[in-house]
């Protein structure tokens, strides 16, 4: 896979159950290096119907369908 800095690396993938604020989904995960920080990717955020609020640095619910 290609990382944000442009490097291409081999990585194992799998499935995991993720729970955020009481909502759970099964999602695809990529296993990084042991010292890599944990990240929630777009695939998982969409599955949980969440978006990132960069100002308040929190996750907020996202409506799936526009009103």
Tokens standing for residue 20 = 């955020």
Q: State pLDDT tens for residues 38-62.
A: 888 888 888 888 899 889 998 888 8
CA-CA-CA-CA dihedral for 32, 34, 39, 44, to nearest 10? 60
pTM for the whole structure: 0.67
Count of all residues that appear for the chain in the document? 67
* Sequence ranges of the domains in the chain: 12-61
Q: What percent of the chain has pLDDT over 70?
A: 94
Tell whether the model's pLDDT for residue 64 goes beyond 60. Answer: no
């Amino acid at each position: 896979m290609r990382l944000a800095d442009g490097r291409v690396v081999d990585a194992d993938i799998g499935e995991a159950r993720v729970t955020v604020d009481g909502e759970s989904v099964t999602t695809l995960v990529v296993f990084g290096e042991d010292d890599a920080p944990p990240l929630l990717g777009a695939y998982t955020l969409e599955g949980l119907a969440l978006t990132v609020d960069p100002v308040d640095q929190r996750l907020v619910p996202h409506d799936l369908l526009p009103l």
